[in-house]
Structures are given as structure tokens and as C-alpha cells.
Homo-oligomer: A and B are copies of this chain.
């Protein structure tokens, strides 16, 4: 447990064995019980994460309504919107399963940058990769209907349907639970899905 983060970094940036050792040695891994709130509205976000095991839901309360922004599962980074900023978070992060996460802070990062300047490059590239992936998610959301989004999840993250309650999935897809219920019914009827 823990070298997943090296595997992940290596996918996008060439990491020397030396630097891999350093990253691995300085990575903080923590366990969180299901239900743990990692970040809540009004907090200042001081940590970013990487999911080794489990599932973290990102959401916000908008006019009293709980709206899921994302589900983070194995091998995915979690970068809070206000991470490293002074502004108060509107975002919540909740472990919806027992989870094992690497935990990172701006202070820790800066320390690493000073000690190992090559690490700055790794982080810049990773942020660029995350930006690119995130842009793709946005495009995907913007150019598809709720039905297409549901089918996309079914195809690309089928595990989510087992791990996540439907009413949370609904808000993730931009729907009310009742509508997701009807959408699913419609699919079964029309396409024998």
C-alpha cells in the first residue's frame, strides 16, 4: 500500500528511482472511517489526498440541496477547489467508505520543493494532467444528456453503482432521485438494459 502513488505518478512523468524513493518515504498515509468529513463548508482547505482504497464524495450544499460534485475512488487524486487558498471552502469531502488516503499539505509540498527541486517539475506536470482530465470531464458533462451520463458511468465506472446510493448518483448526474429512477426504468423498458 502506498506505491500506487508512484505507479500513478510514473504514468505521466518520468520519476527517477531516487525521487520515487523520496516521495514514497515522505508520503503520509492515513486511515479514515466511513463517515469521516475531511473538509466542510467554512473550513480552509489545508490538505489534498490520493485514494489508495475506498471512496470519497465531494459535494456542496446549494440552497439547502446536497449536490454531488464527484466520487473519488482508487488511484484518483482529490484536489479541493480551495486547496492552498485563503478562501473558505464551500465544498465538503466525506469518506463514504472506510478509506486509506495519502495526505498532503502545502507546507509539506513547499518543503519538498526546497529539498528536491526536481519534485516541483513532477507536481507541475501532475497539475497539468489533472487540469486536462478535469477539462475533459467538464466537456463530457456539458455535451451529454443525463441519460448519456448514466450510460457513461455504467460503462466506465460500473463499480460506482454498487458503491454509491442512487440519490447521490442522481445529483452527480445533475438529476433528482425521482428522475434517475424513471430514467433507469425507461432504459430497462426500451433497451432491455
A contact set with B: CB distance below 8 Å: 60, 62, 67, 69, 79, 81-85, 113, 117, 120-121, 123-124, 127-128, 130-132, 134-139, 141-143, 174
Main SS at interface, chain A = helix
Given contacts A124-B120, A124-B123, whether A137 and B138 have CB atoms under 8 Å apart is yes
- A-B contacts, 9 of them at CB < 8 A, read A60-B143, A69-B142, A82-B132, A83-B128, A120-B121, A127-B128, A134-B135, A138-B138, A142-B174
Q: Which of chain B's residues have a CB closer than 8 A to the CB of A136?
A: 81
Report Cα–Cα, A69/B85, bound state, in Å.
Answer: 26
A189 to chain B, nearest CB (A): 24
Report Cα–Cα, A161/B134, bound state, in Å.
Answer: 27
Q: Which residue of B lies closest to A83 (CB)?
A: B132
